[in-house]
Structure 1
């Protein structure tokens, strides 16, 4: 019996080892886009084996390709491409070869550079997709049908566990049809854990844990509510400086996004620390739109002059909404939000998993 038990344990270890090898071989990701400007963009991908990558790109409907050759010992690859024209379409293709010069990764796509200041554009926001793979997939299919989306915001909890590689692979497999041509701007949720894998996967502005970017004449600010943001913290001071300096450029809107909502009538309720430390800055500097997740519902609050949106319907199991909701709208539904900026108005269209509109609202341009 002891011999049998020893044999069984050895056989199981060998089996698990072989399974892990098969899994590692299948774990390529991308390509996916981020950090787009009028003149540059970041392309990232994950290969089966490290080696030499050849990245080619050109303006759509032209013949001349530009080429960059990269050599890396890491599985996670990225390249920053520059020198583009604003609001212009470019195509790219990637070939990665291992140490034996065998092709081990291929990817391609088309992207558009950012529009000039004041020009209209559309973007999407959603969050809390986690392990709701089939719902997430259906939402992505609807997003693919939306017109001229320039980037996508995710309010966190992209995966069920930030330490689970299979969850990350599922996320990138589902979103690949989107993210190979639309830049992605996430913020970390509590399910991303310590954020090490999150930071390994994404290539974002600034220190990447919290950051800001401009698109057209709108200032976007991503915060990380999993780390300190009290009024003595580095993040709080950075947020204050970003708002103060950003307003000097007179943005049409300031949009902030982070995972934990200051106001919610879902099971998690209000995040008191966010209300205590971040909301006063939001009110003082007239941030007109705040996007959060965490509660797996859709909610729309208008408090003062700020629209607070909970968009936690990306696929994770839905929560109930309290019957005594304080907001303008509260629905337990999987969803995403399309924002249309006309240059004068920012319009929001909220769509459920069947593509039906469940809420609409508009925010007038900020006046100075």
Structure 2
């Protein structure tokens, strides 16, 4: 049975509620085996709730009311924005928490207590010992106004991943022509297809010129959008770092942007070591995937990260870290070093970089490179992990396997 909060119609001593239009979302948050969360925003208080069913079809299982909380945003970008500006003011964040779900199951949800109908999909994580096939997508640097063919997002959504891992720089206020409101509209296929689990990129911490930010404080965009949309995902973590399991894989989602001198402070490094050490003793564990924004192996203009790369390699040397996923460079690259696969995936919409013209000392390690907009589909089976990389024309540009 689902543990269900009362819907707004069922709450005693309340006047009838009024449906409200959705202005952002809906979207799913987090990746857990028996629980999930769906969020969306409306302009004012009113009815809020969803109903769910197993994605395979059948009857709706339950209708669940939302918890509503006011959001007061100070950040405003309206001047020079052709459409869908981000305006200061108050909106209502709806959150629906679902519990006692089936592990390894995909559900369809429908926000049915608002004006109009909004639908989406989320999947629960499989049991740790599961060897069933799992698919997850990867992309990064998603700046949809950059002119990328939006078929990129449609094709990733149609592939039906269980979750989408994002390598950072979700949205970028470049030239004040891009807004979160526009991002939500243009990436709707992704939001409807699966929960997105992002790491922080440098653009996610940008300071907009028109916004007054006190010295030492977190930028308003990060406070009012990134944290509100993706924060409190229920995963164990420290600071802006968190971890979760995809079957036998341990995923460490790390913040590479918070420290200019070192990749991570002592407390974060100790947390990483403890997580990996604990995983090594778990019989269901296969290997670790580490994802963070800053590209430590790249032949783009962002290269030259030798010291930070050595720091990271030394940190994880005793452990089964087989795959490292990065963003930052607006291209696709794959390297192999000491039986580890390093992948740069920053081609989700931003203007492209050349990624094969610098740092010749890395040429032998570079197994593949394409300056194209792309997404990656990973398939985890009992025998290992397979990655397939597709461009906007659905052309397969790389394929690789990681055993374990």
Instruction: Sort the TM-score into its range (normalised by shorter chain).
Output: 0.7 to 0.9
SS in 1 for 2:321: coil
Extract unaligned runs of 5+ from structure 1: 1-24, 97-102
Task: Specify the alignment match of 1:225 in structure 2.
Answer: 256
* Correspondence for 1:33 among 17, 28, 48: 28
CA contact (8 A) 2:290 2:323 kept: yes
SS in 2 for 1:274: helix
Check 1:225–1:64 CA distance in 2 against 1; reply closer, same or farther (3 A cut): closer
CA distance in 2, matches of 1:165, 1:27: 23
User: 192, 195, 205: which one pairs with 1:180?
Assistant: 192
Cα deviation for residue 284 of structure 1 reads 2.4
Counterparts in 2 of 1:64 and 1:255: CA distance versus 1, 3 Å: closer
Partner of 1:111: 122
C-alpha spacing 1:270/1:285, structure 2 compared with 1 (3 Å): farther
CA RMSD of aligned residues (A): 2.6
Match of 1:10 in 2: none
Spell out the pairing of 1:48-63 with structure 2 (5 A cutoff). Answer: 48-59=43-54, 60-63=57-60
Confirm or deny: 8 A CA contact 1:260 1:274 kept in the other structure. Answer: no
SS at match of 1:313: coil
Match of 1:206 among 221, 233, 236: 236
* Contact kept? 1:58, 1:66, Cα under 8 Å: no
Please report the TM-score for the alignment, with normalisation by the length of structure 1.
0.82
Deviation track 1:48-76 (CA, whole Å, cap 9, x = no partner) reads 22344223334441254243343433323
**What does the per-residue CA deviation read over 1:301-335, in whole Å, with 9 as the maximum and x for residues that have no partner?**
10001100111111111111234334111221111
Describe the SS at the equivalent of 2:132: coil
Does residue 310 in structure 1 map to residue 327 in structure 2? no
Change (3 A) 1:362 1:161: same
Q: What count of residue pairs does the alignment treat as equivalent?
A: 334
Contact 1:217–1:253 (Cα < 8 Å) also in 2: yes
Contact 1:231 1:237 in 2 (8 A): no
Match of 1:81 in 2: 98
Query: Residues 308-347 of structure 1 correspond to what in structure 2 (within 5 A)?
Result: 308-323=342-357, 324=360, 325-326=363-364, 327-347=366-386
CA distance in structure 2 between the aligned counterparts of 1:128 and 1:168, rounded to whole angstroms: 14
Note the C-alpha offset of 1:83.
0.9
What TM-score, normalized by structure 2, do the two folds share?
0.76
CA contact (8 A) 1:128 1:156 kept: yes
How has the CA–CA distance of structure 1 residues 231 and 151 changed in structure 2, closer, same or farther, with 3 Å as cutoff?
closer
| Change in 2 beyond 3 A, CA 1:300/1:55 | same
Please give the alpha-carbon distance, in whole angstroms, between the structure 2 residues aligned to 1:215 and 1:302: 23
Distance 1:288 1:248 in 2: 17
Native 8 Å contact 2:141 2:348 kept in 1: yes
Counterparts of 2:123 and 2:396, CA distance in 1: 27
Q: 1:303 to 1:139 in 2, by over 3 A?
A: same
For 1:133 and 1:163, locate their aligned partners in 2 and report how far apart those are by CA, in whole Å: 11
Tell me if the contact between 2:166 and 2:197 (Cα under 8 Å) persists in the aligned partners.
Answer: yes
Distance across 1 between alignment mates of 2:115 and 2:106: 27
In the alignment, which of 152, 159, 164 is matched to residue 164 of structure 2? 152
Of the three residues 151, 163, 182, the one matched with 1:138 is 151
Specify the alignment match of 2:394 in structure 1: 355
CA separation of 1:309 and 1:89: change in aligned 2, threshold 3 A: closer
Tell me which residue corresponds to 1:3. Answer: none
Which runs of structure 1 show a deviation greater than 6 angstroms over 4 or more consecutive aligned residues? Answer: 162-165
Inter-partner Cα distance in structure 1 for 2:177 and 2:52: 30
Q: Which deviations, in whole Å up to 9, do the C-alpha atoms of 1:168-190 show, x marking residues without a partner?
A: 22222222222223111110100
**Structure 1 segment 281-320 matched on structure 2, within 5 A:** 281-320=315-354
Residue by residue, what CA displacement relative to the aligned partner does 1:163-221 show, whole Å, maximum 9, x if unpaired? 97952222222222222231111101000114322111114223572100011111111
Higher helix share: 1
Tell me, yes or no, if the aligned pair for 2:144 and 2:150 is still in contact at 8 Å: no
Contact 1:89 1:110 (C-alpha < 8 Å) held by counterparts: yes
Identify which range, 233-242 or 297-306, moves more after superposition. 233-242
**Equivalent residues of 1:295, 1:310 under 8 A apart:** yes
Equivalent pair of 1:162/1:192 in contact (CA under 8 Å): no
Change (3 A) 1:226 1:27: farther
Q: By how many angstroms is 1:240 displaced?
A: 1.7
Specify whether residues 92 and 144 from structure 1 end up closer, same or farther in structure 2 by C-alpha distance, changes over 3 A only. Answer: closer
- After superposition, what is the alpha-carbon deviation per residue over 1:255-314, rounded to whole angstroms, capped at 9, x for unaligned? 010000111101110334531432212332121000001111111110001100111111
Contact 1:52 1:72 in 2 (8 A): no
